[in-house]
Amino acid sequence: MKLAFSTLGVPGLPVADVIRLATAHGYHGVELRAHPEEPVHPGIGPAERADVAAEFKAGAIEILGLAGYARVAAPGDDTAVLAEIRELLDLARDLGAPFIRVFPGAGTDQSPEEADATAARRLGTAAEYATEAGVRILLETHDSHRTGADAIRVLGPVGHRQVGSLWDVMHTWLGGEQPSSTYAALFPYLGYVQVKDIASAEDTTPLPLGAGVLPLTECVELLSRAGWDGWLCWEYEKRWYEEAAPLAGLLGPGREHLARLLNESA
């Protein structure tokens, strides 16, 4: 498996510094948070996109994916949501990134059936453009659809190879789902896996990998036994928790922890 980290852990950091951190600590790639607060987002122009792609290529670091914020199950008209997804797909294509991340984001005034149908309809429409762009759309286990069982209610009806899943191990755990159940549900659709660690369900402040309660060992073992050869991406949510320790000093030990888990499960 390849190892990456998300720029959510180093908010606002210039691209050159992100690449430097990845190289210095032995990561193969980076997930870019695609938000206007960050250096890379859908609003940048063609020249900037070309420069970013060239910087990553020169540094021999892959852009794993773009973490976007489109909410595919949200109530309202499809047009704005589909436009947001298309902008992300265009940016990913220009940067050479294989994946974009979207959220479910169903509203509290929707029935689960309505939210599932809305998400499936939008993802099915977006899948056609994703095919043209050569990029895969990944629905993250998050918010209204935080478990694998929730996610497949959407992914199953879509049934398109360009639409898959992003397994966030914190959200499936918070949803009370065992890793084996999540894996069984998501494996046919799995794009990559976001790893992290927290103290408890009540305190989700990010911790160094291995210092909290999330079942990272079990998750890595499941993936290894299945021969899955994708990406593990450390999403350290520093952007939302100012009191959390800086990620830069944790990247080396974090990579070593993941490498140990991979060696032990080999």
Radius of gyration of the chain (CA): 17
Residue of 218, 250, 221 lying closest to 234 (CA atoms): 250
The answer to whether 195 and 219 have CB atoms below 8 angstroms apart is yes
Q: Within the chain, which residues score under 50 in pLDDT?
A: none
CATH code, 236:
3.20.20.150
Question: Can you give the residue range of the structural domain that contains 10?
Answer: 2-265
Burial 197-231 (b: 16+ CB within 10 A, else e): bbeeeeebebbbbbebebbbebbbbbbbeeebeeb
Specify the pLDDT at position 64: 97
- Give CA torsion, residues 52, 54, 55, 61, to 10 deg: 100
Q: What single-letter DSSP state applies at residue 130?
A: H
- Look up the pTM and report it: 0.97
Indicate the number of domains in the chain.
1
Instruction: Give the three-class secondary structure for 225.
Output: helix
Specify the pLDDT at position 266: 67
Specify the pLDDT at position 264: 84
